[in-house]
Every structure is written in structure tokens, then in C-alpha cells.
Chain A
Amino acid sequence: MSGKRYVARSTAIAAREIGDETMVMSATTSTLFTLDEVGSVIWEAADGVTSLDEIVANKICAQYDIAPEVALKDAEVFVEALAKHGILLLSDEPIVQPNSLSEGTV
């Protein structure tokens, strides 16, 4: 994968940390997901302006004993899976989130 990719949490979700996991529910389909510890780190860091490779380098590789290329590949598979369910947004450009839910597309 060449070029930077940006990830942002959709506003059409409900989410809460439960211990070291994160519960995420799609507001459109009511489908429930649980993210494990590493998935929760990526989820929390998905602010739309930090690129995925930076998240992997600064939040994953800095905390876990894993090769950067392996971690990035796993992270890409993970974010693409969440994006397919509409709970995470993926873009080649930084993602600007609306200031309020009313003005956004959820």
C-alpha cells in the first residue's frame, strides 16, 4: 500500500470502553462489535488527521513487540473490515469531522 491513509470514527456509532476492550454498535444496523486491546488503541487514535502509519508507529509499535510492517498490514486489514461496516471512515486525505452531529451525515 503506497501513500498515507487516514481513519476516523463514524459519528453513526455508539461506543464505550469496557475494560481493555471497546464495544462499538452501528447506529444504522444495530450490529455490535467488540474490539480487542490493540483494536481499541487504533479506534481511539482514529481522529481523521493522524495517518494510519503514524498510529501504528506511535501507538502500536511503541507499546507492543511487533514488526512495523506486520503491524501496518494487520492494521490495514482491521480498518478495512470496520470501514466495510460503516463504523470507521477511510480516506487518502485527512478527514474533517462535523462540529455537531446535526450538520454531519451519520
Chain B
Amino acid sequence: MSALMAEMVDKALKMKIPLSVQLDLTYRCNERCIHCYLDHDDHGEMTTAEIKDLLDQMAAAGVFFLTISGGEILMRRDFYEILEHARLRTFSVKLKTNGVLIRKKEADRLHSLGVESVQISIYSHHPEVHDAITKMPGSLKQSMNAVRLLRKHGIHVVIANVLMVQNAHDYQGVRALAIELGAQFIMDPTITPMMDGDRSILSLNVDQASLREVFRNEALVGNVEEFCAPPQGPGEDALDMLPCSAGHTACYVSPYGDVYPCVQFPLPSGNVRRTKFLDIWRDSPQLNEVRSITLRDMPSCSKCTHGGTCTRCPGLAYLEGNMRGPSYQDCEKSYARTGIPSDILKKMRASQAPLQLVQIQGLQQVAQDLVVAATATCPAGT
């Protein structure tokens, strides 16, 4: 992050401005990726008018960075209308897509609309591996065509490589493709649980040996010695640090208008169909609770030797049952990085306790559940 950007983020934090929002337009998709955490149905997506109104509200609230994602964003027939509206409201727009539906005409349009970047998922440079992950024959060829077309227009393309058992050794090949085409390469070694609470896809996560290999690749992590340095334990400064931007300067809005701290932190915090975006951002008890948490408030992590350097994701911790607790997946990563297991990891491995995952649901479902619970216990009903 540049000094100027850090200064603006700091200012946004002090002024409680939601600088970055990820807006998912749909969960529908033309691919069926084996590791995807979403279902692919339409449970009542926001209309074009609702999304345009939300964009107006977000611009007024100070949102600058807007990530438009899905599902596959080009599955929405009104996608370009929404994108044009977002650009007229002068958001810095980043798109996440599989690129399958991007041809010359679409690349021309994206260029004319001035998007900041387009992120396309490429799982392997081998078609048989990539297509087996997306379950869509020919998808690597189509996605790579999109990368080439977008690059031809000078659009900043980010190739995202999600690491899993099936493609654990292909990231070097994908990175080489990215370099050849002048695209940025990023890699994520974490498979997260599905939004309905199903954790069967966690078995796709790569093992410790593969993680160790990735974390010792200088091209990916920079200074390996520094990146993999033994932990020193959290200092006094680290105890007051914020875990991440989720809920502080960033949030997520689902295709149904549900607001969460982050796409990976699905704590229902409000719905823009019932409450104004800025009112949710400022007053949601859930977001305010997330904002109140520092490392000092985390009973296990504040005492952990990895506390000051761990990449703990509060969303994953929430999905594992406690937003003030550890994220077992990040404990695994700290271990792979430094070779030193956290006490939490040692206990988890000793007990082999299954993770108590939270089932994610929209606010409407939460409200219905509360009504059901109240009905079941209300004496007035008897």
C-alpha cells in the first residue's frame, strides 16, 4: 500500500467511512467450480433499480473502491447498465469474473467504461485440470481468451489462482502465463466453507507440505527469511491492532441486499431493502461489535506466540464458531510459514474435535427463525 493510500485509509477509519465495498450481483454462475462456497440459484436478487439506488447511497456514504462480483456477473442482463451507473457515480470499479462470456465487444465496452481492473480465476495452465475444477469443458480456453482481449485493450487484469489439492503444483505454470500476458498474479491457498454451512469442500484444502512449499517461494512471498521468521509473540502495540478492514472501512453486500462485514465474514448485519445503507453501516449492532474487537479481546490469540504476525481472518474464526476465537485454518498457515505450531493447533490436533461451523443465513431467515423461536416459547400462545 502506498503512503498516500495508507493515509486515506487511516482518514476513512477515523471518519468511519466505508471506503471499500464488495457487491455481489448474483450467485448464479455458468461454471460449477468444485470449491465454490455459493449455491447457484436466484433467491430474489435485487432489481436494477434497487442496485442503482444502492450505488447512489454508497457514493453518498463515501465508498470509493467498489468490487463487483458474484456468481458470474455477466449472467445478469443488466450488468452493463449497473456498471455504467457505478462509473457515473465515479467509483473505482474492480470486476471479478470467470471471463467466459467476454468477447471482443464486451472487452471494448469494459475498456470504454474505465474499470480499474478485471480479476479472472485461472486454476491451472493445463486445460484438463482447470476444466475439471470448473466442471465446464473448454473453460480455460475461453477464460484465457478473455485475459488476452482485455490485455489488448490495456485493461489491468489480475489472474487469481485458488490453490487446492487438484492444482497444488500448477501455480508456477499459471504465474508464467500471467507474466507472459502482462497480467498480475495472485494466489489464495484457502478454501472456505460453503455459505450454507457445508464444510465438505474443506477437504480440498492443500496439505501442510504444499503450504510450506508455497510460503518458501520467493517469487510469491518476497523475502522468505522475513516471511517465515519465527514468531516473537504479540507486543503491546499488536494487542490494540484491528484484525482487518472488515466492518472498519469495508463491507460486503449480497445479491439479496444483506450486508455483512466481508464476503468471508457472513455475519448478517442488516438489509438494504429495509434499511438505508449508511444507517446499517453506522448503527448495526453486529458491525459495531466487530469494530469493538482488537487482539486484546481474543482470549486465545492474544496469548498465542503467533498473535502479532498471524494472518488470522476474523471471518473464518466466525465460521468456526467464535469471532473472538482462533481460525484453525490460519493456525495451519502460521505453522506452515514458521514451522512452529500454535498452542491452539496442538490442542485441536490432539482432540481431533470437529469444527462447529456457523450456518450462514440472510437477515430475513434470521427474523423468521426468531419468530419461530418466540412462537415456540411465548406463554401468551398457550
Measuring CB to CB, which residues of chain A are less than 8 angstroms from any residue of chain B?
11-19, 21, 23, 25, 27-28, 30, 32-34, 100-102, 104, 106
Contact = CB atoms under 8 A, between A and B. Distances in A.
Contact of A23 (B8, B109, B116): B8
B84 A27 contact: no
B92 interface: yes
Contact of B114 (A11, A17, A21, A32): A11
Contact of B90 (A16, A33, A104): A16
Given A13-B90, A23-B64, A101-B114, 19 more contacts: A11-B87, A12-B114, A13-B114, A14-B64, A14-B93, A14-B116, A16-B59, A16-B62, A16-B63, A18-B11, A18-B17, A18-B62, A18-B64, A21-B11, A25-B92, A30-B156, A32-B2, A33-B4, A101-B87
Contact of B7 (A13, A16, A34, A102): A34
A93 B169 CA distance: 59
Contact of A102 (B5, B62, B112, B154): B112
A81 B90 CA distance: 21
Nearest to B156: A30
A101 B7 contact: no
Interface residues of B, number: 30
B150 to A, nearest CB: 14
Contact of A32 (B5, B84, B88): B5
B112 A101 contact: yes
B239 interface: no
A39 to B, nearest CB: 14
Nearest to B64: A16
A16 B55 CA distance: 13
Contacts of B84: 100-102
Nearest to B11: A18
Contacts of B90: 13-16
A19 B16 CA distance: 11
A12 B154 CA distance: 13
